[in-house]
Structure formats: structure tokens, C-alpha cells
Amino acid sequence: MIIAIYTTFFFLILRFAVTVFNFISDPKLRRVNKVYTNLVSILIPARNEQDRILALLKSISRQDYLNYEVIILDDDSSDRTYAICAEFAEKHLAFRVIKGKELTGKWLGKNYACYQLARQARGEYLLFLDADEQVFDGLINSAVHRMHFRSLALLSMFTNQQMKSVGERLTVPLMHYILLNLLPLRLVYLSKNASVAAASGQFMLFNAEVYHRHEWHQSAKDKIVEDVEIMKQVKLAGYNGESLLANSMITCRMYTNYREAINGFGKNFLAAFNYNIFSFLVFLLLLIGGPIIVIMTLNLQLITMMIGLIILTRIMISLESGQNTAINVILHPLQMFSLVLIAFSAIQKYLTKTTEWKGRKI
């Protein structure tokens, strides 16, 4: 019991220290006044996105960066995605929509769509966005500045998350919680070690010359979590990569309900642990089982210390990610329960090889 308590607090304090580092270093994209005019190709893979993609297209047309082109690839949608995009493109000259080719070989759907989009792009920078996002003034100019300032081959950003249902609030905050609780985000740029990698496919901005030389999506064609894999490959090739928080310049609503979120996170959560189920279970045991052991001691001092560290951690991460602090603190136990369900879903899908996304088996 004593060893378990010591281990729990060591893990808790270590994660708290990482959170403090992220809070103090504040790894957010900063707005800049200097104006850039480089051509940016905004590339959007879309599959059955009729309910969400129009909001993204409108937000792009309203934002303040002037020199851009937008290419949407319809990835064999069975709904009105192509028609909606085509109607919008008819009225906006910078936009066009293309039909994706049939999926072949070891390619996964999104990776193949991104690969095809890059081959159509003319820009000096390639910006890959998901169809469920919205962008705001300052985003593209600030991101291009960051590419120049840091001499980056890849800039990725973790977007601010929109959450409208209780089910989303019980699941979506886990993404930022685990990220900022385990990884000092500044080290993605500062460390040359490729294992120190994090990225989000919701925003991937590439130096086009470097991208075309390596065709990063082709090299990660069969990877479910292609964003992290590409960041690793960028660093292995000796280029600079960086991951930041979006600072409210881009938002995303990943899921609309609890079941969808559990299924969505379940398809790629295990990949963050390199599909090592044992490591994943040890992490969950320390994260969730440890606090339960501390509570079972009925030692008020230990319990108060543990709860204090957890609450301070949730406050700092919520502030950094632009989320409601009070709600995340109150819902923390239920979010941890949701994490267990996601873990069960991820392991079950991996062992039975039944992972699916948007109607395709992965």
C-alpha cells in the first residue's frame, strides 16, 4: 500500500510539474502585425461533411489573409458534400472542389486525400484543415510568420474545442488534459529527438518545397495517427517542427454527442502509446487507480493534497486550452470514467481489428 501511494504521488507531482511548465511557457500562437503575402494553399479533405463544411468555407472567405487558394477534396461522400462545396466555389473564385480517386493499396482515407490535395496545390505553404473547423482573423498571417521566424518545415496547432452537449464536455477536454499533463509542448521544437513529437491533423502547415520533396503523407500512408508520425519524420529528416495551442484563432467541434466521441477517440487513443497495451494500462492505473488507492487510505491530509494537485492541474490546463475551468473541475471524475470507456473501446477495436471511421475499416 505504501509503495502504491508513493508511486501515485510521484506520478501526480511529475504530471503537475509538466502542467506548470506548459502554463508558464504558454505555448500559444501569437498574433503579429507584420503582413505576409505568401500564397497559402488551404487543403480540406472531406467525407460526408454536408452538415459542417459550409461553416468552414464561409469562415475562410471572411478571414483577413488575402493571398490564398482553397482546394476541397470530396472523398467519396454519400451525402451532399460535393454539391455544397461546388455551389460555394461557383461564387468564390479562390475556392475549388475536386473528386478524390478510389482508395488503393495500404492507403488510409484521410492520408490519401491529403496526398492528392498536395499534388493539386500551388502555394508556398500547404495548410491542411479538417472540415469541422472555423478560422478567424490573424490565424494564417500569424502562422506564416511563425514559419519564417522559426524556419519551420511543419507547424501544427491544437485548436480550441467547441463543446455544446454534456457528452462532449465529458470527453473532448481529455485531449488537452492528457497532452498538457504529459508533454512539455515547447520541447517539440526545442528537442531534436524525434520521439518528442506531438501534432494535430486539425491544423498542419507545411513548407511546400520541403513537403513536395518528401511527400510526408505518402510516407505515413497507413498510419492512423498520421499527424504525430509526420512530425516524427520531419524531425528525423533534420527539419524544424513545432506544435502550439491555437489561441482562439481556430476552433473545432470534433463530435456532437457522447457515443460519437467515445468511438472517435477510441480509434486512435492507443496509437499515442505505440499500440503497447501494457503501457496504456499502466498509465490508466496510475492516472485513475492511484487516486482511488489514496482515497481508500481515508488519510485526510493525503486526500486533500491529491485533490489540490488535481484541481490546480485542471485549472491551468483549462485556462491554456480556453475551456471552462469550473466545468472541467466538477466533471473530472466523470471524465476519468469516460477515459476508461475510451480505453476499453480502443483496446477492443485493436485486438479484434474492427476499427472503423466514416464507414471505412481501418
Q: How far is CA 4 from CA 290, 310, 312, in A?
A: 7, 18, 22
pLDDT bracket for residue 361 (50, 70, 90): low
Pair 251, 263 in one domain: no
Domain C-terminal end among 198, 231, 255 = 255
Pair 230, 292 in one domain: no
pLDDT score of 348: 87
Pair 243, 271 in one domain: no
pTM: 0.93
Is residue 68 included in any domain, yes or no?
yes
Pair 307, 246 in one domain: no
Is residue 19 included in any domain, yes or no?
yes
Pair 188, 226 in one domain: yes
pLDDT score of 360: 65
Per-residue b or e along 124-162, where b marks 16 or more CB atoms closer than 10 Å to that residue's CB: bbbbbbbbbbbbbebbbbbbbbbbeeeebbbbbbbbbbe
- Whose CA is closest to 218, among 124, 71, 105? 105
More confident residue, 166 or 361: 166
Instruction: Give dist(CA 169, CA 338) in Å, integer.
Output: 10
Q: How far is CA 181 from CA 74, 121, 238, 287, 315, in A?
A: 36, 37, 27, 11, 12
Range of the domain at 134: 40-255
pLDDT digits (tens, 9 = 90+) for 273-290: 777 888 888 888 889 988
Is residue 360 included in any domain, yes or no?
no
Taking residues 156-169, report their average pLDDT.
96
Pair 21, 51 in one domain: no
Q: Which residues pair with 69 in a beta bridge?
A: 41
Is 90 exceeded by the pLDDT of residue 268? no
Taking residues 166-173, report their average pLDDT.
96
Is 90 exceeded by the pLDDT of residue 175? yes
Taking residues 116-128, report their average pLDDT.
97
Pair 231, 320 in one domain: no
Is 90 exceeded by the pLDDT of residue 143? yes
Is residue 358 included in any domain, yes or no?
no
Using an 8 Å Cβ cutoff, are 314 and 329 in contact? yes
Domain C-terminal end among 197, 232, 255 = 255
Q: Per the structure block, which three cell numbers stand in for 142? A: 500569424
Domain C-terminal end among 228, 255, 282 = 255
Q: Is 273 helix (H, G, I), strand (E, B) or coil?
A: helix
Pair 251, 264 in one domain: no
Is residue 7 included in any domain, yes or no?
yes
Is residue 32 included in any domain, yes or no?
no
pLDDT bracket for residue 357 (50, 70, 90): low
Q: Per the structure block, which three cell numbers stand in for 121? A: 496545390
Taking residues 225-242, report their average pLDDT.
95
- Whose CA is closest to 269, among 249, 252, 283, 251? 283
pLDDT score of 333: 95
- Whose CA is closest to 109, among 52, 46, 158, 157? 46
Q: Per the structure block, which three cell numbers stand in for 31? A: 498574433
Taking residues 145-162, report their average pLDDT.
97
Instruction: Give dist(CA 116, CA 177) in Å, integer.
Output: 33
Taking residues 170-182, report their average pLDDT.
95
pLDDT score of 257: 93
Is 90 exceeded by the pLDDT of residue 1? no
Pair 47, 101 in one domain: yes
pLDDT bracket for residue 62 (50, 70, 90): very high
Is residue 97 included in any domain, yes or no?
yes
- Kind of pairing between the strands at 356-357 and 360-361: antiparallel
Q: Which residues pair with 203 in a beta bridge?
A: 129
Mean pLDDT in the chain?
A: 93
- CA-based angle 235:269:241, to the nearest 5? 15
More confident residue, 3 or 318: 318
Q: Per the structure block, which three cell numbers stand in for 203? A: 491544423
- Kind of pairing between the strands at 152-158 and 95-99: unpaired
- Domains held by the chain: number: 2
Taking residues 25-34, report their average pLDDT.
96
Pair 231, 311 in one domain: no
Is residue 361 included in any domain, yes or no?
no
pLDDT bracket for residue 362 (50, 70, 90): low
Using an 8 Å Cβ cutoff, are 261 and 172 in contact? yes
Q: Minimum mean pLDDT among 23-37, 90-104, 345-359: which range?
A: 345-359
How many Cα atoms within 13 Å fall on the side-chain side of residue 308?
A: 8
pLDDT score of 205: 98
Pair 213, 73 in one domain: yes
Pair 302, 263 in one domain: yes
Residue 111: is it exposed, middle or buried by C-beta count within 10 angstroms (0-12/13-18/19+)? buried
CATH number for position 154 = 3.90.550.10
